[in-house]
Amino acid sequence: MAEKKKKDKKWIQKAIDRPGAFTAKAKRRGITSAQLQSNVLSNPEKYDDKTVKQANLRKTLVKLHKNKKAKK
């Protein structure tokens, strides 16, 4: 019988290569990370792939945080 593959509970830590990099990009532009996320996701062709991935990751993490807070 094949063993079930365990879910990696630390996937978030592995997804974040450079903590604070997205926020630093936003601060250099003089906006918040939420505003940068909105700009990047509305016009992904204007930004490099790494920035688009960072914006998507931020969106996911914010959503997870909100879901966690709602359950309490």
- In percent, the amount of the chain with pLDDT more than 90 equals 60
Q: What is the pLDDT of residue 43?
A: 95
pLDDT of 1 higher than 60 = no
* Predicted TM-score of the model (pTM): 0.77
Task: Judge whether residue 36 has pLDDT over 60.
Answer: yes
Domain ranges in the chain?
A: 22-71
DSSP the chain: -PPPPPP-TTHHHHH-SSTTHHHHHHHHHTS-HHHHHHHHHH-GGGS-HHHHHHHHHHHHHHHHHHHHHHH-
pLDDT value, residue 3: 61
Kindly report the average pLDDT of the chain as a whole number.
87
- Residue 2 pLDDT grade (very low, low, confident, very high; cuts 50, 70, 90): low
